[in-house]
Amino acid sequence: MQRVSWWTDLVGAFGRFRYGTVTGGVAPTPIKAEWLNMVQEELVNFILAYLPELDATDNTQLLKAIQAFGAAYPLKATTLAGYGILDAYTKPEADWLLSKKANLAITLAGYGIGDAYTQTAVNALLAAKQSQIDNLAATKQDKNTALMAPTGWRLDKATGFLEQWGNGYCSPDATTAPINFPTPFAEVYNCFGNKVTPNSQDGDANAAGALAISVTQYQLFNDTVAYGATIHWRAIGRAPGY
């Protein structure tokens, strides 16, 4: 990445954009296509490193990519002899820590101090890293089923996928009042339903089902004029916090 000064001399101090003045004869910094393309590609490359594709209708993709990065590489502050070195989660970070260990060992040896301190510190640091990786893996594998019942829900904690189901009665040719989902969604992807045992079709058809009216409520409907219906429904979506 480069500042706009790489493509033009019409810049302010430290290569920053500047305003122009007509009376002073100072031209403003031009908006260079090369600079805009560079910024665009920087952002696009980061997003595509953590999300499957670009979405022109989603203006939160950079935030989602940053959140995905944070989930993949969590950093835990670890104090190393008062130096506040961060726990390493990538090979470059681990290599950097080991090089610092070697340099510190040489320095301490010059004062007649052995390597035991630095070895213990690095071992503790890498052990803390492994512990956090294990904890993260355990969390990823924790796919809790929160409520298994005729009306219930289950959450995949690794992805935030939330599934809910249930059943209810709807009068002939009617729609029920709003009904609360067993647990709220953050976003509903689909909600549908049908009768288990359909009645004979009457003059107003035989359709019945369910629809989400918000992330917290749904309704059942029954288009059959002559018969009430017990409708079994299912809804899927994203859980809050994901």
pLDDT at 170: 92
Domain ranges in the chain are 4-72, 91-141, 152-238
Tokens of 160: 């935030």
pLDDT at 78: 44
| Global confidence as pTM | 0.42
Q: What is the CATH code of the structural domain delimited by 152-238?
A: 2.60.40.3940
Mean pLDDT of the chain: 80
What gap in Å lies between CA 5 and CA 13, rounded to an integer? Answer: 10
pLDDT at 218: 97
Q: What is the mean pLDDT of residues 86-95?
A: 59
Q: What is the mean pLDDT of residues 52-77?
A: 82
| 8 A C-beta contact, residue 215 and residue 182 | no
